């Protein structure tokens, strides 16, 4: 009985350690975080997470934080809290292996509930709080030719300008920028 209990405890500890390592793993995109960072934080938290920052003031008293070294942007609302995190860093991946520079076919396979965001820009798709900017309209183009050019995590509900944020953000995957 003692051997069984010891083995069970050892197994539980190994599983727990593996989960802790997985939770602390960098470069992961989840339904609620990008590289372990969530929306709703202050500027200082994003600077601590992503490093050197360039700050831009936009119309409507919105602030954009550009973290060029990690190909990531954060949009802050008028209260200085993050409402959107966008990345074009192809090292950042979801559990399904999808990240910037993945194909539309890979995106659709990993997110079967993927839906186009309503509006005139047909290049923006979403699944929950994750929005994806692809390089062309996957409904009319060959999915093999469509590439994810940016992934955005938004607050719930999505900020009014979210479509503009992701629509204007294009990261290079080695091909032409659209």
DSSP string, 77-118: -TTSBEEEEEE--TT-B-TTS--TT-BHHHHHHH-TT-EEPS
Q: Using one digit for the tens of pLDDT, what is the confidence trace for 24-73? A: 557 899 999 999 999 999 999 999 999 999 999 998 889 999 999 999 99
Distance, in Å, from the CA atom of 144 to the CA atom of 157, rounded to the nearest integer, reads 31
Q: Is 172 left (phi over 0), alpha (psi -120 to 50) or beta?
A: beta
- Asked if 138 and 146 touch (Cβ cutoff 8 Å), the reply is yes
pLDDT-based confidence at residue 78 (cuts at 50, 70, 90): very high
- Quick one: tokens of 34? 């990008």
pLDDT in the model for residue 146 = 84
Closest by CA position to 154, among listed 175, 133, 135, 178: 133
**pLDDT at position 95 over 80:** yes
- Least confident window among 11-20, 29-38, 96-105, 139-148: 11-20
Distance, in Å, from the CA atom of 80 to the CA atom of 44, rounded to the nearest integer, reads 10
Domains along the chain with CATH numbers: 26-167 (2.60.460.10)
Distance, in Å, from the CA atom of 72 to the CA atom of 107, rounded to the nearest integer, reads 19
């Amino acid at each position: 009985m003692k051997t069984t209990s010891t083995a069970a405890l050892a197994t539980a500890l190994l599983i727990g350690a593996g989960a802790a390592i997985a939770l602390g793993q960098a470069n992961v995109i989840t339904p609620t975080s990008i590289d372990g960072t969530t929306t709703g934080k202050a500027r200082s938290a994003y600077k601590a997470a992503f490093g050197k920052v360039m700050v831009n003031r936009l119309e409507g008293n919105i602030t954009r934080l550009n973290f060029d070294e990690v190909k990531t942007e954060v949009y802050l609302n008028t209260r200085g809290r993050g409402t959107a995190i966008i990345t074009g860093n192809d090292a950042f991946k979801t559990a399904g292996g999808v990240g910037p520079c993945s194909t539309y076919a890979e995106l659709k396979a990993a997110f079967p509930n993927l839906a186009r965001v309503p509006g005139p820009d047909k290049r923006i798709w979403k699944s929950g709080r994750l929005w994806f900017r692809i390089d062309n309209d996957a409904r009319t183009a060959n999915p093999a030719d469509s590439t994810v050019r940016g992934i955005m995590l938004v607050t719930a509900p999505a900020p009014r300008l979210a479509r503009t944020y992701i629509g204007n953000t294009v990261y290079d995957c080695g091909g032409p920028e659209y």
